[in-house]
Amino acid sequence: MPDQMVMKAALQAYVDNINKGDAPAVIALFAPDAVIEDPVGTPPKRGQEIVDWFHQAVAMKAHLTPVAPIRGSHGNAAAIAFIVQTDWEGQVTRIHSLDTCTFDDQGRITELKGYWGLDDVDGCA
């Protein structure tokens, strides 16, 4: 089981690489069999769907702003609360989100769940 510092560093790298627009570096943080459910209640993404999703996030100029420190746990999970801002075809949107992640022994993300609903989305023009 990875320690808290490894998990927190992975989530900080997630933020930093999304903000740099480096989709391959973000994807490298995930285990090959990882699953993403973002937002929770939508169909899970796996494999190439995850690759495509992060390339889409970069195309939308996603930028993450943490709103609290990254949190660890007594197990193999950590969480981060943030605002993600995107710009797609001139439409700026902000989503207030909380992501929980589980990790494998190598410190790679095996599962990401994004918690946000329609009330957590601000559209700005």
pLDDT in tens, 26-74: 999 999 999 999 999 999 999 999 999 999 999 999 999 999 999 999 9
Least confident interval from 37-41, 52-56, 97-101, 120-124: 120-124
Question: Residue 125 has what pLDDT?
Answer: 42
Q: Which of 38, 87, 104, 120 is catalytic?
A: 38
Number of H helices, E strands in the chain: 3, 7
The verdict on whether 3 is a catalytic residue reads no
Question: Residue 80 has what pLDDT?
Answer: 98
CA-nearest of 105, 117, 114 to 31 is: 105
- pTM, two decimals, is 0.93
- Give me the torsion for CA of 7, 13, 19, 24, rounded to 10°: -110
The verdict on whether 99 is a catalytic residue reads no
Question: Residue 90 has what pLDDT?
Answer: 82
Domains of the chain: 4-124 (3.10.450.50)
